Amino acid sequence: MSGSPQLAVGSRVRVRDDWPETRGRVHIRTPHYVRGRTGTVVRCLGDFPNPEELAFARPARLLPLYQVLFEQPQIWRQGCAGDQLLVEIYGSWLEPS
């Protein structure tokens, strides 16, 4: 059972601009530099237990895991046009853009 609707390969997605670490103890696998940023789903890697729950030995629901492609210069405001970042992000962090 998957916790979030499936996102199709090629969908434009926005990573939630959320900072749970400001609200208490957490374990997060979504890097800071992609929060609030928009990218493209390039691959669905299957369902995996939510690491944010696993880290605290809580029952972990299965979440779809995606590889999302971002334009590197847009994120850092430096770099070379055409260079990209490919990041694994759980479906719970993604919303259609």
Partner 1 sequence: MAGTVLRLEEVAGERLLRAVAALLAAKGIASPTEITEQIAMTDNASPAQGARMVARAWVDPPFRALMLSDGTRAAEMLGIPMRGAPPLGVLEDTPGLHHLIVCTLCSCYPRVVLGYPPFWYKSAAYRARAVRDPRGLLAEWGTVLDPGVRIRVVDSTADYRWMVLPLRPAGTAKWNQDRLAALVRETDMIGVTLPRLAGG
Taking CA atoms, 81 is separated from 28, 35, 61, 85, in Å, by 29, 21, 38, 12
Binding window for partner 1 (CB under 8 A); candidates: 2-10, 18-26, 42-50: 42-50
H/E element, 72: helix 72-76
Q: Which is nearer to partner 1, 1 or 80 (CB)?
A: 80
Closest distance between partner 1 and the C-beta of residue 22, in Å? 17
In the list 7, 15, 30, 64, the residue contacting partner 1 (rule: CB under 8 A) is: 30
Binding window for partner 1 (CB under 8 A); candidates: 4-12, 17-25, 46-54: 46-54
Cα 76 to Cα 8: distance, rounded to the nearest angstrom: 27
**How do 84-90 and 94-96 pair as beta strands?**
unpaired
Q: Which is nearer to partner 1, 8 or 80 (CB)?
A: 80
Nearest one of 97, 4, 93, 8 to 47, comparing CA atoms: 4
Residues engaged in binding partner 1 (CB under 8 A): 29-31, 33, 45-46, 48, 51, 65, 69, 72, 76, 78-80, 82-90
